[in-house]
Structure 1
Amino acid sequence: MNTHNPAAAFFASPAARGVAALLRGVHRVSPDLGTRIAMGLFFTPMPTKWLARSRAVPRPWVERQLPFEGGHVSVWQRSDLEPGRPKVLLTHGWAGDAQQMRALADTLAQAGFEPVLLDLPAHGRSSGWRSNLFQWVRALFAVTARFGPWEGVVAHSLGALAMSHALARGLPVRRVALVALAPPPMQFLQWFAQAMGTPESLATGMRGRFERREGVSLGHFEPAWLAERVEQPTLIVHDRGDVTAPIAGSETLLAGLPSGRLHVTEGLGHRRLLSDPAVMQQVAAHFA
């Protein structure tokens, strides 16, 4: 079992340790208040969004804003492609943004597709400062209704988990590529509680509060549950040494898929996959 906790390094700064100490104190006095504060921290993507919002995006990429749940999500398209190409939707992971997918999108454009990039809620130039997987799933359906249908979808990390759930719920897509599939949400909740130095009861309380609010079980993001419901031909790409998202989740998903293939890389970690030439060609070939 991989015991590495990605959240531990993330919350290692002096400021983060101070926040963790405060959370532990509040949770000891009032578990309910501590859980509510933890929920706010957990669902706020880091680092802050101003970096993504200030980044210049080169032509021919242009931003479209799609109204969504009182705000908007930003959708990126290339202005230099002729109409009628088969479309591919690309989505990033937690604390990422659409521009991480641009190199892969440009490769797909060269292969004859029309790539469409999405800044998920509270990420990139989309509005909001907090978000969660269920909102991401709703955003995927909203973007599909406006910009689809999709010949294929490519999703990274936690975006791949949200995409898998959307597919299980009937999102219309012909072929799927999942890159560095993230562990299920309960694993992240446990990592978060460990990094904060709080008891595991905090993770359990967060799960219960979240499921009551959304009306859906987090078990519906477990690889075994998803695999029984994702019917599309699926390429899974994962690096063997990925410590942010251990490969075991992709292997579990693959074992239950009716039509799946796992491409394992070495030495690329969690994010370098997205701009690796061999990986990009694997994805393009899967759609072709």
Structure 2
Amino acid sequence: MAKKATNPTQSLKIPQVIILSSKLLAFISPKLVTSFAAKLFTTPIKHKVPKRELEMDQKSTKKTLFVPAIHKNITTYEYGKSERKILLVHGWSGRGTQLFKIADELLQNGYSTVSFDAPAHGKSEGKTTIMSEFIASILEIEKQYGPFEIAIGHSLGGMSVLNAIKDGLEVKKAIIIGSGDIVHDILEEFVSKLGLQSEISNRLREHFENQYQVKMDDFSAYRAAQKIQIPVLVIHDKDDPEVSVEAGIHIHKHLHNGNLFLTEGLGHRKILGNQNVIKKIIDFTKTT
């Protein structure tokens, strides 16, 4: 069993007022604090597109895609003109243009990319979402834009890519960067950050399972990894403060055909623009 992996969906330090509110609600009612925590857990922060991502944003063909499985619209980005397509999946509170440096290099190597703003992210509608909606979006995008040769996911996007492959996404290879792993640990870590007792994490899990009609632990990345036969490159930074490197190591151990590339000093997001990392990705796309 891996060490607890820090919550990939909660990158920012939780404000003290929210922690105090959580503790007060927990004192009043476990049901109230569970609902409060569930709302926090499923509400991403929508950031403006940074200047560094504007070129990809402006040069992409953007469309609105309806995802029937979740009854939501998402915004998609087609970048480049090649028939050799790679799917890019951002993490929590990310955007479809967040992996722009990787996308630019892929274009230089004869690929085009398709990415998207997940539900409640970027230009897509909604205020709340959960990983199962990321996965449903990926599978619908494959129907509309596929086939894809490779899928690349960052953080929660990495977990989503592995689960989508388990659920039928057909790609020749996959790359996951800074991916979270064990859902139970993610929930426990989030509850701990709110200053709440660990029993609330069980209530939170039951809340989500009832609301979304899913089994949360089924989405753990290592479980999906066990069912994947294609080559998967796992990239993780040893100093990632948000998702422990143990998550990447644990996922790699459960892959049938996995490659593990560990970096140092890049953290959770700088890793996406590092030239050594991008070279490793390009080299992996070229291997047979």
What do the CA deviations read for 1:142-170 (whole angstroms, capped 9, x no partner)? 11111111100100011101111111112
Tell me what 2:149 maps to.
151
Tell me what 2:93 maps to.
95
- Show the 5 A alignment for 1:261-272: 261-272=259-270
| One-letter amino acid of the structure 2 residue matched with residue 276 of structure 1 | N
Determine which of 10, 13, 16 is the counterpart of 2:13: 10
Aligned CA distance change for structure 1 residues 285 and 9 (closer, same or farther; 3 Å): closer
Distance in 2 separating the partners of 1:252 and 1:94: 21
Q: Percent identity?
A: 25
For CA contacts below 8 A with separation 6 or more, give which structure has more relative contact order: 2
- Secondary structure of the residue that 1:173 maps to in structure 2? coil
1:77 aligns with 2:78: yes
Tell me what 1:57 maps to.
54
Q: How far is the alpha carbon of 1:285 from its aligned partner?
A: 1.7
**Contact conserved, 2:53 with 2:100, CA < 8 A, in 1?**
no
Aligned CA distance change for structure 1 residues 56 and 115 (closer, same or farther; 3 Å): closer
Q: How far is the alpha carbon of 1:50 from its aligned partner?
A: 5.2
Q: How far is the alpha carbon of 1:56 from its aligned partner?
A: 7.4
What do the CA deviations read for 1:177-209 (whole angstroms, capped 9, x no partner)? 111111332222212211211111111100011
Q: How far is the alpha carbon of 1:4 from its aligned partner?
A: 8.9
Tell me what 1:42 maps to.
41
What do the CA deviations read for 1:255-282 (whole angstroms, capped 9, x no partner)? 1211110011111111111111111121
What do the CA deviations read for 1:208-232 (whole angstroms, capped 9, x no partner)? 1112222322222234312211121
- Secondary structure of the residue that 1:45 maps to in structure 2? coil
**Contact conserved, 2:88 with 2:113, CA < 8 A, in 1?**
yes
Tell me what 1:24 maps to.
23
**Contact conserved, 1:122 with 1:130, CA < 8 A, in 2?**
yes
- Show the 5 A alignment for 1:131-150: 131-150=129-148
Q: How far is the alpha carbon of 1:24 from its aligned partner?
A: 1.6
Aligned CA distance change for structure 1 residues 71 and 217 (closer, same or farther; 3 Å): closer
**Contact conserved, 1:106 with 1:115, CA < 8 A, in 2?**
no
Aligned CA distance change for structure 1 residues 110 and 121 (closer, same or farther; 3 Å): same
Q: CA RMSD in A?
A: 2.3
Distance in 1 separating the partners of 2:226 and 2:184: 19
Aligned CA distance change for structure 1 residues 175 and 9 (closer, same or farther; 3 Å): closer
Distance in 1 separating the partners of 2:53 and 2:100: 13
- Secondary structure of the residue that 2:78 maps to in structure 1? strand
Distance in 1 separating the partners of 2:204 and 2:215: 12
In the alignment of these two chains, the number of paired residues is: 279
Distance in 2 separating the partners of 1:278 and 1:25: 47
Distance in 1 separating the partners of 2:34 and 2:201: 8
Tell me what 1:185 maps to.
183
User: Is there any run of 5+ residues in structure 2 with no aligned partner, and where?
Assistant: none
TM-score normalised per structure 2? 0.89
- Secondary structure of the residue that 2:64 maps to in structure 1? strand
**Contact conserved, 1:184 with 1:223, CA < 8 A, in 2?**
yes
Tell me what 1:260 maps to.
258
| One-letter amino acid of the structure 2 residue matched with residue 192 of structure 1 | F
Aligned CA distance change for structure 1 residues 45 and 252 (closer, same or farther; 3 Å): same
Q: Which moved more, 1:150-159 or 1:91-100?
A: 91-100
TM-score normalised per structure 1? 0.89
Determine which of 212, 217, 238 is the counterpart of 2:236: 238
**Contact conserved, 1:240 with 1:264, CA < 8 A, in 2?**
yes
Tell me what 1:108 maps to.
106
| One-letter amino acid of the structure 2 residue matched with residue 60 of structure 1 | K
**Contact conserved, 1:151 with 1:173, CA < 8 A, in 2?**
yes
Q: How far is the alpha carbon of 1:113 from its aligned partner?
A: 0.8
Aligned CA distance change for structure 1 residues 267 and 216 (closer, same or farther; 3 Å): same
- Secondary structure of the residue that 2:256 maps to in structure 1? coil
